[in-house]
Amino acid sequence: MIFQWTKAGLEAILGLGWFTELETAILRLYSNNKGFDWLRAIGDLTEANYTGYVAITGLAAATTGPYQDPLSNEIYYKLPMASMGECTAVPQTIYGAYVTDSAGTVVYGMLVFDAPMGVVVDSTPRLNVLFPFGEGTELSGSELDLS
For position 131, what pLDDT does the model report?
67
Residue 20 has pLDDT above 70, yes or no: no
Burial class (CB in 10 A: 0-12, 13-18, 19+), 52: middle
Query: How far is residue 43 CA from its own chain's centroid?
Result: 16
Q: Is the pTM of this model over 0.75?
A: yes
Structural domain spans, the chain: 2-139
According to DSSP, residue 29 is labeled E
pLDDT-based confidence at residue 13 (cuts at 50, 70, 90): low
Summarised one tens digit per residue, pLDDT across range 87-113 is 888 889 999 889 898 899 989 888 888
DSSP secondary structure string, 84-111?
-----BS-EEEEEEEEE-TTS--EEEEE
Give the containing element (helix H, strand E) for 130.
strand 125-133
